[in-house]
Structure 1
Amino acid sequence: MQTETMPHSSLLPLVAEPRNPGMDLDMQWVRAVQANTSAIERRASSLPGRRSLKKDHQAAWLLRAVTCIDLTTLAGDDTVGRVQRLCAKARQPVRADLLDALGMQGLTTGAVCVYHDMIAPAVQALAGTGIPVAAVSTGFPAGLSPFHLRIAEIGESVAAGAQEIDIVISRRQVLSGNWQALYDEMKTFREACGDAHVKAILATGELGTLRNVGRASLVCMMAGADFIKTSTGKESVNATLPVSLVMIRAIRDYYQRTGYRVGYKPAGGISKAKDALVYLSLMKDELGDRWLQPDLFRFGASSLLGDIERQLEHHVTGAYSAGYRHAIG
């Protein structure tokens, strides 16, 4: 398939690609998905030592990581003021003096992710920036509210201005092997999102096996997911490298079979710059440079940006600074 030219300021998922329309559920393909856990874990354990990025190269990769962050606040005590501060950080994620020293202008994060009630203030705070607002939906994080309410929640968030919807799947469908039910649910969520792009949160820490992760990833893509995402950030186990490897290879298989690129979002527990570099190198190795753009790759994170900014200051000045000098909110 041909890739269209992507506007420099465009951050929305898949605006540069034909949107994944999904396909009929192919149970033969789903059942063929297997996972060699020991081999996957060996490959994942080797990843941190496979690439050594130093000096200017490391700084460049960290700047790319900033553009791929979904800057997130999903706390019960969120306020309008906190969301406004978060949006200000999304607009200016790295101190201006550091960006000047690095020769960078116009750097922003990939999106701001909030609960439904905080969509309106986020949209207002980001007006004119091109930074999309993402909203978690469908009974996040457990996904156990009545189905018609989950659909209504998507509609309310889209009407409020969310351009991306992070939905949670019903884990029980995966654990019981009810792939048709998972497909139907995901397809309905996709239809309810309309023009808003949908990220399917698999909650991989609750799916039991890597094989289940691979099959759930494939089914969600068949049902039209624009992104697949590891976690809500609320599970006891969130993004891991073995899970990421399985999901990324499912994305690769889907692209090779259908010609449609689907995005990937690891979320939960990624708080250090060195971890971001490992995930970026994994994407490059497994999927290529095209998946290193914010329309196809995002970090779901809140504290990651602060550590990246500290590393960039060290690169510019030669000294580490205290974390409070790079506060998000």
Structure 2
Amino acid sequence: MNADATAHGTNTLRNAGIPLQLDWFETIAVNTPAAERRAATLTTRRSVKKEWQAAWLVNAIRCMDLTTLAGDDTEDRVRRLCAKARRPLADHIMEGLGLDRLMTGAVCVYPTMVGAAARALEGSGIPVASVATGFPAGLMPLDLRLAEIRYALDQGADEIDIVITRAHVLDGNWSALYEEIAAMREACGAAHMKAILATGDLKTLRNVYKASMVAMQAGADFIKTSTGKEGVNATLPVSLVMVRALRDYSHETGYRIGFKPAGGMKTAKDAIAWQILMKEELGNPWLSPALFRLGASSMLGDIERQLDHHVTGRYAASSRHALA
């Protein structure tokens, strides 16, 4: 492999991208029933309990992009979320687990909230991620989408989550999709770019594989399932297809690309299921925030509740583990 994962953050060596290679994916076939069967067995063949379960849940926190993308976001809410990112578990849980320090993988906000997040996270080592490019629909002229990337970077963003034009996928216009994503990758400069495919809008798993491959060829550092705003967001069958595309790209180029499922994941059980997927399909290197992120802030409350039970033997009310 050409890139190593750091203990916290992003790849040390980035995906350089390659010229568009249609022959890598044009004739791909995806067996949807087989993908669904494989996904269904992930959580039935492996069970983690007690201290092992606690370890998996702590790792999920390390890999979580703590996110607020609401129309009523305020700087105060962002600051509270950043405080949670710095200290995601209550002190008695940290003590019970024997942990001195734990942080989330990143904090993800709208571009106008990047400045507040950057100030609140200063000195923590936690990256600020910003959605951009007309999130969530992406239906803006390309020059304005690129300008939004540059604005977020000027405000202090370390990572950019871009959205693609879904019509390019549905029309099979792979060159247009490639050129769009490559322009966004160039605009991101030193910031790492996560390409949101909005898989719930792409209709078929075959389209999901193809869009994943084009995004990686165009230079994406991560591929991400969803905005969280589609009717269907992250699912295990979609994630399985995406990580296999990621594995194929890594085999061809030597670059390790990150994966971020987002939307629809709410429980500690979900956090474990997606980590099992990564471990079984890609191995332990992809269980690091450098290569794996969970875009599911609401699951942090349930994870904290399960870890509280592990430490104390009692379940606390969910209101005791508010996010912000």
Give TM-score, length-normalised by structure 1: 0.97
Match of 2:240 in 1: 245
3-state SS of paired residue (1:185): helix
Aligned residue among 241, 246, 255 for 1:260: 255
Match of 1:200 in 2: 195
3-state SS of paired residue (1:31): coil
Question: Do 1:20 and 1:261's aligned partners in 2 also have CA atoms closer than 8 Å?
Answer: yes
Aligned residues: 324
1:284 maps to a residue whose letter is K
State whether structure 2 residue 126 is matched by structure 1 residue 113: no
Match of 1:42 in 2: 37
Aligned residue among 218, 222, 231 for 1:223: 218
Question: Do 1:268 and 1:300's aligned partners in 2 also have CA atoms closer than 8 Å?
Answer: yes
Q: Once the two structures are superposed, what CA deviation does each residue of 1:66-113 show, in whole Å capped at 9, x if it has no partner?
A: 000000000000011100000000000011111111111210000000
Match of 1:291 in 2: 286
2:255 maps to a residue whose letter is Y
Aligned residue among 119, 128, 143 for 1:124: 119
1:212 maps to a residue whose letter is N
Question: Do 2:308 and 2:314's aligned partners in 1 also have CA atoms closer than 8 Å?
Answer: yes
Match of 1:171 in 2: 166
Q: Distance in 2 between matches of 1:185 and 1:252?
A: 23
> Could you tell me how far 1:3 is from its partner in structure 2?
4.6
2:311 maps to a residue whose letter is V
Q: Which runs of 5+ in 1 are unaligned?
A: none
Q: Distance in 1 between matches of 2:20 and 2:278?
A: 26
Question: Do 1:270 and 1:301's aligned partners in 2 also have CA atoms closer than 8 Å?
Answer: yes
Question: Do 1:34 and 1:214's aligned partners in 2 also have CA atoms closer than 8 Å?
Answer: no
The aligned runs of 1:295-310 (5 Å cut-off) are: 295-310=290-305
> Could you tell me how far 1:147 is from its partner in structure 2?
1.1
State whether structure 2 residue 146 is matched by structure 1 residue 148: no
3-state SS of paired residue (1:245): helix
Q: Distance in 2 between matches of 1:4 and 1:190?
A: 20
Return closer, same or farther for 1:154/1:129 CA change in 2, 3 Å cut-off.
same
2:33 maps to a residue whose letter is S
Q: Once the two structures are superposed, what CA deviation does each residue of 1:11-63 show, in whole Å capped at 9, x if it has no partner?
A: 2x213xx2100001111112132210011011111112121100000000100
Aligned residue among 315, 321, 325 for 2:316: 321
Match of 2:11 in 1: 14
Return closer, same or farther for 1:5/1:165 CA change in 2, 3 Å cut-off.
closer
Q: Which runs of 5+ in 2 are unaligned?
A: none
Q: Distance in 1 between matches of 2:102 and 2:187?
A: 32
Q: Which moved more, 1:270-279 or 1:25-34?
A: 25-34
Match of 1:233 in 2: 228
Aligned residue among 156, 164, 168 for 1:161: 156
Question: Do 2:212 and 2:223's aligned partners in 1 also have CA atoms closer than 8 Å?
Answer: yes
3-state SS of paired residue (2:300): helix
Q: Distance in 2 between matches of 1:58 and 1:116?
A: 36
Question: Do 2:5 and 2:290's aligned partners in 1 also have CA atoms closer than 8 Å?
Answer: no
Q: Distance in 2 between matches of 1:148 and 1:257?
A: 32
2:88 maps to a residue whose letter is P
- Identity %, equivalent residues: 61
Structure 1 consecutive aligned stretches of length 4 or more whose deviation exceeds 4 Å: 2-5
Q: Once the two structures are superposed, what CA deviation does each residue of 1:183-214 show, in whole Å capped at 9, x if it has no partner?
A: 00000000000000000000000001000000
